Structure 1
Amino acid sequence: MNQKAKITINRTRLLERFLRYVRFDTAADPRSDAYPSSEKQRRLAELLASELAAMTVSDAHVDENSLVWGTVPATDGDLSPTVALVAHIDTSPEAPSDRVSPQVIERYPGGDIRLEAGNQITVAACPALESLVGKTLVTTDGKTLLGGDDKAGVAIIMELAQTLIENPHLQHGKLRLLFTCDEEIGRGTDKIDLNKVDAMVAYTIDGGGAGVIDVETFSADAATVRFQGNNIHPAIAKGVMVNAIRAAADFVAELPRTRMSPETTSDREGFVHPHSIRGGVGEASVELILRSFDADELNEYAAMIREAAHAAADKTPGVEASVEVRRQYRNLRDGLQRLPQAVDLAEIAFTNLGRTSTQEIIRGGTDGSQLTEKGLPTPNLSSGQHNIHSVTEFACLDEMVEATEHLVELLSLWSDQRS
């Protein structure tokens, strides 16, 4: 059921939504054990719930965990499977996120983009710009990230919901809406009740560019390596002080640098990434992430970390080393094989719209990785994001419009799949 000619997405309203959402600072806090890790995420959650309620989504609400829920009723008599759409409201803690100042570039003329802070988004570093000439781009002033990861996805889902409500002739089954917290620190699905989702299939709207269906992700673990030393005033330290900082530095130096690091790997190669080091003479710790498309390989990475940690401790007599490895998520691929239609219908929707699409792998993960592992097949779809987690991040409005159109068509195809 090709509905391409029957609907026009309100791009002005979609842009206004996006600009409104990115101004909220919603950075996740990896140092917090709370959920959500930062209370400021709830402020955006409450806005989204109020906007859904204003659209007549009668069950729109924010739960005790700051997850936003809502349902767009079916127009096909509830004869087809329920589909869930998921996006996350938190942003990465890896770049500044307060006082985001979005800048809109209408009809991008091509070439490098100079930001107000003096830095640039260059074509050399982001070749995707070459295909975006003439389109509308949204950047920041160069001082903060934009938050298109994943507020582009949030805005797309919100605009889709309003579009469906305003156009009851569009055929679709029951649509469950879910906005999560703390995806950026690997906790996005921790508080999701799949019985409450009550869907056959879900899609995260959290991908880059346009026309991409992400069907594989890394498998992922995290590790914390702690070094216990002994601090004392340096004036009386001889023979007594045991400097944990030295052991932590030696440990990081032991890790591969020309292989198995994010800086030197691509495609299907995995890595071990030390991303945070903190502490003092008495105790120091290193936080790492372990990534591979082969989950079994993570065990090898963990063994390498343990060996490197104990080797580093041996160089500073008296230091004690401990290693904690935590499971995060697993490759999307295996779970998607349980429901091939999840990917097949997404491809057909692109074809029906006269667009090409590609199936790709993510050198990272999404909420969909964990949802799929828990039993809810959840591919990831494009949302117009570019240069994520960076002060040179930007989003393309035209690609966001296309993503919304794709979801309209995809939901129509699911409506043809009678339960």
Structure 2
Amino acid sequence: MENYTYTALDRFIRYVGIDTQSDPQSTTNPSTEKQKDLSRVLVQELLDMGIADAEMDEWGYVYATIPANTDKASVPVICFCSHVDTSPDVTGAGVKPIIHLKYDGKDIVLPDDNAQIIRVTDHPDLQNQVGNDIVTASGTTLLGADNKAGLAEIMDAANYLITHPDVKHGTIRLLFTPDEEVGRGTEKVDIQKLGADYGYTIDGESLGTLEDETFSADAVKISIKGVSTHPGFAKGKLENAIKIAADVLASLPKDTLSPETTEAKEGFVHPTRLEGNQDQAVLEFIIRDFTESGLHDKEAYLQDQLNTVLARYPGSTAEFVVKEQYRNMKEMLDQHPAVVDNALEAIGRAGLSARQRSIRGGTDGSRLSFMGLPCPNIFAGEHAFHSRQEWVSVQDMQAAVDVIVQVAQVWEERA
């Protein structure tokens, strides 16, 4: 993309200034209305580019079309997707992005909290960034690169395609979703309206990576009903729901089966929420594994631990509810090899070394793949997600823009 002035950085700086944190406890769609603030900005920017059908629906989803400019009638419709929300784990309000020009290879101390140090030993990808420009937050918030880097990259690629009609491509659909971080990013997607054959989320980490395998994921909610009575007259009667919940947590292994003790293809049982009183308590977990059988084994294990604990509290009961979240996209992608092959070709054409890998997490693409839109995940350059040490490289963002453009070209050429 010679002689092109990239817009990804400027867009990214604008986007991270808008607080779009989602809320897992909310029952509305989207979970927070403020996510729509960014969706409206995206729609207006798309309209300003000349993309006439850009719109936001009532749920906060943005749809837009870059019309085909090829004479070929058989080019599949491709969708590029990113999400507008940021993680509930760390505040996204008042983000102050800092651009560290020509990174020198040293640890980065964030100015608003000197205890927040982005250490090279903790972030080995920084070793590949010497001389590049690194964007961080100031130390008191996350940055929002997950996934506003992806948004900026898709928007920049759209700008390039609109302003370079000589680059041939089929119809391209853009989809920007809310609530990905709380596992609800595809709940209100209208697949028929989207009208795409294949998709790509732009929500990955390191330069050149393509993620075609994710965890399978469920959520478990345990609702405990204890036996409540006045503590002054409780001997032999009280069965404290908080203590029952604590016993369940204490029964979990300390050296395995948790995020902090697993890696690679190992799954886990991870408590995410505990609240209650002596009468009632609620425990929430996320369960992760790369196979559905492994997922069910972990749920059965947790159920067994609960049953063992409850046996010591004969007057108490508990409800164990499993909710499916998403499944390993590889099951669907293996049925459509072109969607991965074309992305790997595009990464190579952008001058990068393409690397396929599994992700210990999930994306909107996981659920979209099972909704009929095979959808692997292309790198966006995001690092240290969900933390105050989150960072992204400007040059990696620009490389992602190149890859998106190349993906569109590869599909047109191979049609």
Q: TM-score range by the shorter chain?
A: over 0.9
1:222-247 CA-partner distances (Å, limit 9, x unpaired):
10111112444433434443310000
Counterpart of 1:37 (choices 22, 27, 31) is: 31
Q: Which residue does 2:76 correspond to in 1?
A: 81
Change (3 A) 1:97 1:233: farther
1:124-172 CA-partner distances (Å, limit 9, x unpaired):
1111111111111110111111111100000101111111111111111
Counterpart of 1:48 (choices 19, 42, 59) is: 42
CA contact (8 A) 2:350 2:399 kept: no
Q: Which residue does 1:112 correspond to in 2?
A: 107
CA contact (8 A) 1:27 1:41 kept: yes
The percent identity for this pair of structures is 41
CA contact (8 A) 1:247 1:315 kept: no
Q: Which residue does 1:329 correspond to in 2?
A: 326
2:311 is paired with a residue whose SS is helix
Q: State the TM-score, normalized to the length of structure 2.
A: 0.97
- Where do 1:19-418 residues align within 5 Å? 19-77=13-71, 79=73, 80-116=75-111, 117-118=113-114, 119-418=116-415
1:209 is paired with a residue whose SS is coil
CA distance in 2, matches of 1:178, 1:59: 12
CA distance in 2, matches of 1:36, 1:324: 24
Change (3 A) 1:8 1:377: farther
CA distance in 2, matches of 1:351, 1:162: 22
CA contact (8 A) 1:148 1:395 kept: yes
CA distance in 1, matches of 2:251, 2:4: 53
Change (3 A) 1:9 1:256: farther
1:344-402 CA-partner distances (Å, limit 9, x unpaired):
11111122233211000000000111111122110100001000011111111110000
1:43-80 CA-partner distances (Å, limit 9, x unpaired):
11111111111111111110011001111111114621
CA distance in 1, matches of 2:3, 2:402: 8
CA positional deviation for 1:8: 4.3
CA contact (8 A) 1:9 1:401 kept: no
1:77-131 CA-partner distances (Å, limit 9, x unpaired):
4621110000000111111221111111111111110001112000111111111
Match of 1:181, as an amino acid? P
Match of 1:111, as an amino acid? K
Unaligned ranges ≥5, structure 1:
none
CA distance in 2, matches of 1:386, 1:10: 24
CA contact (8 A) 2:145 2:392 kept: yes
CA positional deviation for 1:260: 1.1
Superposition misfits of 4+ residues, deviation over 6 angstroms? none
Unaligned ranges ≥5, structure 2:
none
CA contact (8 A) 1:243 1:316 kept: no
CA distance in 2, matches of 1:236, 1:166: 78
**Which is worse superposed, 57-66 or 77-86?**
77-86
CA positional deviation for 1:318: 2.1
CA distance in 2, matches of 1:32, 1:340: 38
Match of 2:79, as an amino acid? A
Q: State the TM-score, normalized to the length of structure 1.
A: 0.96
CA distance in 2, matches of 1:238, 1:9: 77
CA distance in 2, matches of 1:272, 1:316: 23
Match of 2:102, as an amino acid? R
1:391 is paired with a residue whose SS is coil
Residue correspondences, number: 412
2:12 is paired with a residue whose SS is helix
CA distance in 2, matches of 1:294, 1:140: 36
CA contact (8 A) 1:222 1:287 kept: yes
CA contact (8 A) 2:169 2:408 kept: yes
2:26 is paired with a residue whose SS is coil
1:308-344 CA-partner distances (Å, limit 9, x unpaired):
1122222334221111011111111110122111111
- Over aligned residues, Cα RMSD in angstroms? 1.3
Match of 1:335, as an amino acid? M
CA contact (8 A) 1:217 1:363 kept: yes
Match of 1:83, as an amino acid? I
